[in-house]
């Protein structure tokens, strides 16, 4: 499985920890930055990861900013993205199983690295269940098509 990861300056330390964790697990990771502590704009990185996921360059994405909110909002503007902010593993698993979310976001100022790893595991290990959930996800994507 290939994961695209991106972050703003508030989440550099957290990103590096998650990046190392993903590599330890044997996953391939495309790192879109930022990789410096200089202040930057989260929409840039949200868009980069979103486009990589939609283009199929990565199977799933992980985005981290201060809260996870701004960067996920930016990613969700790219058609085909279903980015979710999660601060605990249950929602992360259900976001995959029921909502077929393709990007996980969380906040480096909200949760610590160990909880973040549990959330990442829950997201990556869960599978979309399809069935009645597929119809609802299709309905979401129809809204997007209407513009």
Chain positions 30 to 49 lying near ligand RB5, rule: CB under 6 A, are: 42
Q: Which two tokens stand for residue 22?
A: 């993903």
Cis peptide before 34 (omega within 30 of 0): yes
Q: How many binding residues for ligand RB5 (CB under 6 A)? A: 8
65 classed as catalytic: yes
137 contacts 99 by C-beta, under 8 angstroms? yes
- 65 binds ligand RB5, rule: CB under 6 A: yes
Among residues 9, 79, 86, 98, which one is catalytic?
Answer: 98
Cβ neighbors of 145 (< 8 A, separation 6 or more) are none
- 70 binds ligand RB5, rule: CB under 6 A: yes
Q: Considering the complex, state which of residue 5 and residue 93 has its C-beta at the smaller distance from ligand RB5.
A: 5
86 classed as catalytic: no
């Amino acid at each position: 499985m290939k994961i695209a990861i991106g972050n703003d300056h508030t989440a550099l330390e957290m990103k590096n920890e998650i990046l190392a964790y993903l590599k330890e697990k044997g996953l391939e990771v495309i790192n879109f930055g930022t990789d410096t502590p200089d202040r930057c704009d989260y929409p840039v990185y949200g868009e980069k990861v979103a486009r990589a996921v939609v283009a199929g360059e990565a199977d799933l994405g992980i985005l981290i900013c201060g809260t996870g909110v701004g960067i996920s909002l930016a990613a969700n503007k790219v058609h085909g993205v279903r980015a979710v902010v999660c601060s605990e593993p249950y929602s992360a698993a259900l976001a995959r199983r029921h909502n077929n979310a393709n990007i996980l976001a969380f906040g480096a100022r909200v949760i610590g690295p160990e909880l973040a790893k549990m959330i990442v595991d829950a997201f990556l290990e869960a599978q979309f269940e399809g069935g009645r959930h597929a119809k609802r996800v299709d309905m979401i994507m129809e809204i997007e098509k209407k513009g």
